[in-house]
């Protein structure tokens, strides 16, 4: 199971840290990903990280602003979001895949409930 948290309302230029706590299985051979979705649009890839080696991949739209990292001891993946923009407003989801650095929603099989991020201008 995956449980995302940390969303909220923030002004443009501000920061938020999202958390995704994982339970119920070993994740050593998984990739953990963050996606986001706004009404009427498809779920968009944000970032992902391999659980074992910590290799990361980012969408171009968030490179240099967002950082994904994991705490193995806490079985938790984080998404540090800095320099937030109004266009970052969305519901953010975490998910897992057995594929290495999957970057499409179709590649992910387990999803947590989303956490809403609103960035005001």
Residue 43: its pLDDT value, please?
96
Residue % of the chain over a pLDDT of 90: 79
Q: How far apart are CA 26 and CA 111, in angstroms?
A: 16
Q: Residue 40 has what pLDDT?
A: 95
Going by C-alpha positions, the residue among 116, 95, 93 that lies closest to residue 49 is 95
Q: How confident is the model at residue 26 (pLDDT cuts 50, 70, 90)?
A: low
| For residue 56, pLDDT beyond 90 | yes
Reported as a single tens digit per residue, the pLDDT across 6-15 is 999 999 999 9
Per-residue confidence (pLDDT) for residue 28, from 0 to 100: 72
User: What is the average pLDDT across 96-103?
Assistant: 90
**List of residues 6+ apart from 73 with CB closer than 8 A:** none
**What average pLDDT score do residues 100-118 get?**
93
């Amino acid at each position: 199971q995956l449980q995302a948290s940390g969303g909220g309302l923030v002004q443009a230029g501000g920061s938020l840290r999202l958390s995704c706590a994982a339970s119920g299985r070993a994740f050593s051979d998984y990739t953990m990903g963050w996606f986001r979705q706004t009404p009427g649009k498809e779920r968009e890839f944000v970032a992902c990280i391999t659980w074992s080696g910590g290799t990361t991949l980012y969408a171009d739209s968030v490179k240099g602003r967002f950082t994904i990292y994991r705490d193995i001891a806490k079985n938790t993946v984080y998404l540090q979001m800095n320099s937030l923009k109004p266009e970052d407003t969305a519901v953010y989801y975490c998910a897992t895949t057995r594929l290495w650095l999957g970057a499409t929603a179709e590649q992910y099989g387990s999803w947590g409930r989303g956490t809403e991020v609103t960035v005001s201008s």
